[in-house]
Amino acid sequence: MQLAERMKVIRGSVIRDVAVEIANRDNPNLIKLSGGLPDEKFFPMKELEEAAKKIFADEALFGEALQYGLTKGDTELINLIIERLNRNEGMNITFDNIIICTGCQQGISMTCTALLNDGQTILIEKPSYLDGLNAALPYSPNIVGVETDEYGIRIDKLEEALNEHPDTRLIYVIPNFQNPTGKAWPLERRKEFLELLKKYPQVNVLEDNPYGEIRFRGEHVPCLKALDTTGQVVYLGSFSKIMAPGLRIAYIVSDSKELIDRIEEIKEGLDLQCNQFSQVHVREYMKMYDLDEHVKKLCGVYKERCDALIEMMENEFPVGVTFTIPDGGLFLYVTCPEDFDTGKMLKDALDAEVSYIPGASFNADGSGKNTMRLNFSANDIPALKEGIRRLAGVFKAEMAKRQ
Amino acid sequence: MQLAERMKVIRGSVIRDVAVEIANRDNPNLIKLSGGLPDEKFFPMKELEEAAKKIFADEALFGEALQYGLTKGDTELINLIIERLNRNEGMNITFDNIIICTGCQQGISMTCTALLNDGQTILIEKPSYLDGLNAALPYSPNIVGVETDEYGIRIDKLEEALNEHPDTRLIYVIPNFQNPTGKAWPLERRKEFLELLKKYPQVNVLEDNPYGEIRFRGEHVPCLKALDTTGQVVYLGSFSKIMAPGLRIAYIVSDSKELIDRIEEIKEGLDLQCNQFSQVHVREYMKMYDLDEHVKKLCGVYKERCDALIEMMENEFPVGVTFTIPDGGLFLYVTCPEDFDTGKMLKDALDAEVSYIPGASFNADGSGKNTMRLNFSANDIPALKEGIRRLAGVFKAEMAKRQ
């Protein structure tokens, strides 16, 4: 079958490819530090069951949950999200500023359709969740990585990139507990970032914030959207990491009513609307329970796991291997000695029954070959410890080869 | 905010615009013959409740339903759909030939992304569900209507169009109980259609079949996909009309494994995957209950409603107004005298507390101004009768103006 020209540049997710490779091993003893999954044991199952039972008990409500709804999303759910964003994130948004979408991924996709001309440049942190930008591939974007330091994207390098690529249309950033590094930009860096952006009014920022609420250390730092005074920031939030990803409920926020309205038109063409049952389900959950309380509990669990992972790495990893120490989220990032190739080493790791995501998949230029992403949300502490023990063994064997 | 160039051609659904106009009236006495909704009273609520309770009772199952899953869709659900299509539709497909999507709408969208180059021609029945092709608007398609007769698309006119537009890439058709006419192509017409297509191997057919199972009169006629010997037909099926649209579960079927695999890559970029809870929910429903039995019941209800509508139209409509008599689906199509403008007349109809969809919205060239679509699935028989009484009054008043 003759495919469209654009299919030459469309590719699958590198991370999902690794997941398939792991799945093909079909090894129940494998400890997966590669995934990005929240732990299903901490989904609010009992509460979601009760919310569902409330729906089942009311024929009109159940009918509504199974019927077609609005493309923009369920009105009452939207209002609950607005209230929460204004309260917790310090936003000041109204019904005009938001639309429901199928995960942050659809938020990236629809924002690119609305804003990005074919071939224009997208800047992205180096490393970052590059797979997310597969959403832009139908428009043949020029994806350029910008250097980061321990505080996030480097403002001097960003300015250089903006000047070198005057066709830059979007900057895709994850300022909170980034995928893959787990880093959060401090307030000062956020302010500098937005200050620089004022000089480039034709550029929009796509702030992807699925992990922001999973802060288990330090003070809350306002998101870019809350600090933005020019309306340049388009914000993506999600229930995937704080409630359950299978429900696929997320949202796009923008000061521009025009953008939101036009994205609604895009969504009509894409899939008419999100799953109605899950919208009503999440809405009824939010009316019956305190989601913030649930998130607090989740943060406690993930903190313990992160701390256990860090302690184990400190004890087990050989000299020359370093790692980030995140204040939240699901991931941290390991840097091996320069001459390591974590892509090639994955086979040895799988043989040793532990997995990770090789770092090159997070870099637009394929660099970061000596890095890897580890996840601490999906496994309990004993499994995390055993996983690190195995991984340390792989590192030591790799080092021994070099001597 | 500066929008992408492609936004100049992206527009919202005309049918949803009418729905908004009607909603703005906020009149509880309005009888909506305009909608495309199945009647929620006939959703299998009790059964879906039981299937959900089975999920809630099993922590592993509930966890799976709330967790991330595969982009292609839930494996067990896919296998149940394959079994059903091979049994009921006479297909002969395997796991390689199918992917789950969010409603047929996302099926149209992803197929266009995979197959349609910018600016290429899509042929569509005249009239047809033009709004569905809004999915293709990001690629600036040339959408051309092809004349139909009482048996469906006219083969002579289709050949003319294919020769006149050698850049035709897709033909979008709804051969079963079409939206808006309710017509089903007889077997002979389907064979002629596929025979002609053999002369144009570069052209693919997008067969949209959300209504095919709602046949309440006459013999089953195989879908194009079942008759296709060249692999040119890409087929879309859905649970929206036979179970519940709010679940947003549909599927794309193609002989080409390559196409299905590449659409999976597109879907990764679009939204990672469909709602996982609804996939598990539908799967467990299908394992616990006989969906075919439910569809049979539904067909009985819609037949009664369709027949009541037809009888009422025969009695009430003035001479000069004609209509289609469908053997299934949710819609029929009314043709008024040539000089009627159903777009302008909608205001009078809304004043008379009845609504319909003006026919011009189903024609790429804006023709069909004297036609309208009526729905018979969403209202009970007394409401349908009263709706037609009101609509007949509008017709008579319009005719009186002309004398």
Kindly report which listed range (A352-366, B111-125, B166-180) carries the lowest average pLDDT score.
A352-366
Q: Is the pLDDT of residue B364 over 90?
A: no
Instruction: Please list the residues that pair with B374 across neighbouring strands.
Output: B332
Element (H, E) at B45: helix B45-56
Name the residue facing B16 among A3, A16, A71 (closest C-beta): A71
Name the residue facing B247 among A59, A109, A277 (closest C-beta): A277
CB contact under 8 A, B277 and A277: yes
CB contact under 8 A, A134 and B269: yes
pLDDT (0 to 100) of residue B244: 98
Residue pair B225/B91 in contact (Cβ under 8 Å)? The answer is yes
Strands B331-335 and B371-375: antiparallel
Work out the minimum CA distance from B228 to partner chain A, whole angstroms.
15
Q: Which residues of A touch B246 (CB under 8 A)?
A: 64-69, 275-277
Work out the minimum CA distance from B391 to partner chain A, whole angstroms.
25
Q: Is the pLDDT of residue B104 over 90?
A: yes
Q: Which of B13, B56, B62, B66 to mutate to test the interface with A (most CBs of A within 10 A)?
A: B66
Name the residue facing B271 among A45, A103, A278 (closest C-beta): A103
Residue A133: closest CA among chain B residues belongs to which residue?
B269
- Averaged pLDDT for residues B236-242: 98
Instruction: Give the count of beta carbons closer than 10 Å to the beta carbon of residue B339.
Output: 10
Consecutive 10-residue averages of pLDDT for chain A (403 residues): 95 81 87 93 98 98 96 97 98 98 98 98 97 95 97 98 98 98 98 98 98 97 98 98 98 98 97 98 98 98 98 97 98 97 95 96 92 97 98 96 84
Residue pair A109/A99 in contact (Cβ under 8 Å)? The answer is no
pLDDT (0 to 100) of residue B26: 86
| C-alpha A376, offset from chain centre | 15
CB contact under 8 A, A66 and B43: yes
pLDDT (0 to 100) of residue B16: 76
* Separation CA B136–CA A324 (nearest Å): 44
CB contact under 8 A, B265 and A114: no
Work out the minimum CA distance from A401 to partner chain B, whole angstroms.
37
pLDDT (0 to 100) of residue A19: 78
Instruction: Please list the residues that pair with B373 across neighbouring strands.
Output: B333, B357
pLDDT (0 to 100) of residue B262: 98
CB contact under 8 A, A269 and B105: yes
CB contact under 8 A, A248 and B49: no
CB contact under 8 A, A247 and B276: yes
pLDDT (0 to 100) of residue B15: 80
* Separation CA A92–CA A105 (nearest Å): 24
Dihedral of CA B125/B128/B130/B135: which sign? negative
Q: Is A367 exposed, middle or buried (0-12, 13-18, 19+ CB in 10 A)?
A: middle
Q: Is B51 left (phi over 0), alpha (psi -120 to 50) or beta?
A: alpha
How many CB pairs below 8 Å do chains A and B form together? 247
Residue A280: closest CA among chain B residues belongs to which residue?
B246
* Separation CA B359–CA A268 (nearest Å): 20
Q: Is B291 left (phi over 0), alpha (psi -120 to 50) or beta?
A: alpha
* Separation CA B335–CA B373 (nearest Å): 9
Residue type, A257: K
Q: Which residues of A touch B65 (CB under 8 A)?
A: 246
Residue pair B381/B308 in contact (Cβ under 8 Å)? The answer is yes
pLDDT digits (tens, 9 = 90+) for B266-291: 999 999 999 999 999 999 999 999 99
Name the residue facing B4 among A68, A71, A113 (closest C-beta): A113
What is the DSSP code string of B314-344? HHHSPTT-EE---SBSSEEEEE--TT--HHH
Question: Can you read off the two tokens belonging to residue B395?
Answer: 């017709």
Q: Is the pLDDT of residue B385 over 80?
A: yes
Residue pair B204/B167 in contact (Cβ under 8 Å)? The answer is no
Question: Can you read off the two tokens belonging to residue B160?
Answer: 């003319």
Residue A239: closest CA among chain B residues belongs to which residue?
B66
Q: Which residues of B touch A245 (CB under 8 A)?
A: 66-68, 276
Name the residue facing B105 among A37, A103, A272 (closest C-beta): A272
Mean pLDDT computed over every residue of chain B = 96
Phi and psi at residue A173, to the nearest 5°: -135, 155
CB contact under 8 A, B41 and A63: yes
* Separation CA B70–CA B54 (nearest Å): 22
Query: pLDDT class for B389, splitting at 50, 70, 90?
Result: very high
Instruction: Give the count of beta carbons closer than 10 Å to the beta carbon of residue B208.
Output: 27
Name the residue facing A66 among B117, B246, B272 (closest C-beta): B246
**Crossing angle (nearest 10°) for helices B276-288 and A276-288:** 110
pLDDT (0 to 100) of residue A26: 86
CB contact under 8 A, B66 and A102: no
CB contact under 8 A, B268 and A16: yes
Work out the minimum CA distance from B282 to partner chain A, whole angstroms.
12
Q: Residue A327: name the closest of A208, A152, A153 by CA.
A: A152
Q: Which residues of B touch A3 (CB under 8 A)?
A: 114-115, 258-259, 262
Q: Which residues of A touch B274 (CB under 8 A)?
A: 102, 248, 275
* Separation CA B118–CA A137 (nearest Å): 14
Q: Which of B47, B100, B115, B268 to mutate to test the interface with A (most CBs of A within 10 A)?
A: B268
Residue A4: closest CA among chain B residues belongs to which residue?
B115
Strand positions, DSSP E, A129-211: 142-149, 152-153, 168-173, 204-208
Name the residue facing A62 among B45, B114, B278 (closest C-beta): B45
CB contact under 8 A, A56 and B45: yes
Work out the minimum CA distance from B388 to partner chain A, whole angstroms.
24
Name the residue facing A134 among B68, B244, B268 (closest C-beta): B268
What is the DSSP code string of B98-114? EEEESHHHHHHHHHHHH
- State the Rg of chain B over Cα: 21
Instruction: Give the count of beta carbons closer than 10 Å to the beta carbon of residue A252.
Output: 26
Q: Which residues of B touch A281 (CB under 8 A)?
A: 277
